Amino acid sequence: MKVGIVGSGFVGSAAAYAMALTGAVREVVLVDLDESLARAHAEDILHATPFAHPVWVRAGGYPELAGARVVVLAAGVAQRPGETRLQLLDRNAQVFAQIVPRVLQVAPEAILLVATNPVDVMTQVAYRLSGLPPGRVVGSGTILDTARFRALLAEHLRVAPQSVHAYVVGEHGDSEVLLFSGAQVGGVPLLAFAEARGTPLTPEDLRRIDEGVRRAAYRIIAGKGATYYGIGAGLARLVRAILTDEKGVYTVSVFTPGVEGVGEVALSLPRILGAEGVEATVYPSLDEGERQALRRSAEILKEAASSLGF
């Protein structure tokens, strides 16, 4: 199946590369304001396909998105060192006002997969601009934060991260909420597993893991200017879930009627993802501290979106 990617910078090109290496799609079309950049990435990635899967990777304009099952929105200005995702708002909202109508004009049946930061607010912007049902405008949300959370827990416990079931919800950003209380490893509650494994989690360990997840993007941006490999792989995984009608559970961001008393806000919760986009939300169990933190995260995002009129 065909997938379009609008914006072939670091994130868009990394997503295209991950899709090609994993064989998640049959055809990828890269669209960018800088046509030479899109052509260069498409050619470079195409040359990797003999080592991986027979994926047709090419550059094109908006008309070439016709028939795309999923269109990844990765266009926008980059996050600067020390800049929060929410500070990107004004600049990237203007970009989406130009992009979203053009995408839907040629690919009205596509699911929009939003990657541009701040992703939760940009998901809400794309939803309002598109007029599509909420489940068809999906933000990558906290899929990467959840992956980081599971990886750090797995490292401490000395187990495979695939055996760790733990979620990060709320904003993909500073107010995100790591759900320690409901985390499990192999079906066993986190703290009980840690004790049985001989690797107890102390309050200091919990703070270290929280900091490791919450500040990861800032460390990476300070070191190399941008984050792209992790989210590129995450986007390829979400595309695969949609194209195969997987109905897997992922912490993606969609416009939500209400969460913890805050109405009409896009944020991440565990969601069932399939061929029609987000089909349902699996609301996680929360302790009181997590509930308050999630409400605060929702309030921050609601305020940010409202400031733009969305």
For the annotated catalytic residues, the residue numbers are 172
Residue 160 · residue 117 · CB < 8 Å: no
Residues forming beta bridges with residue 5, ordered by sequence position: 30, 72
CA gap 92, 95 in Å, rounded: 5
Which tokens sit at 198? Answer: 């001989």
Strand order in the sheet with 277-281: 56-59, 27-31, 2-6, 70-73, 111-114, 137-139, 248-259, 262-274, 277-281
The tokens of 108 are what? 């009205």
CA dihedral 78, 81, 86, 87 (to 10 degrees): -90
DSSP 24-71: --SEEEEE-SSHHHHHHHHHHHHTTGGGS---EEEE--GGGGTT-SEE
C-alpha to C-alpha distance for 143 and 172, rounded to whole angstroms = 9
∠215-217-220 over CA atoms, to 5°? 110
Cβ-based neighbour number of residue 154 at 10 Å: 17
C-alpha–C-alpha distance, residues 169 and 284, integer Å: 9
Report the helix count and the strand count for the chain, using DSSP H and E. 10, 14
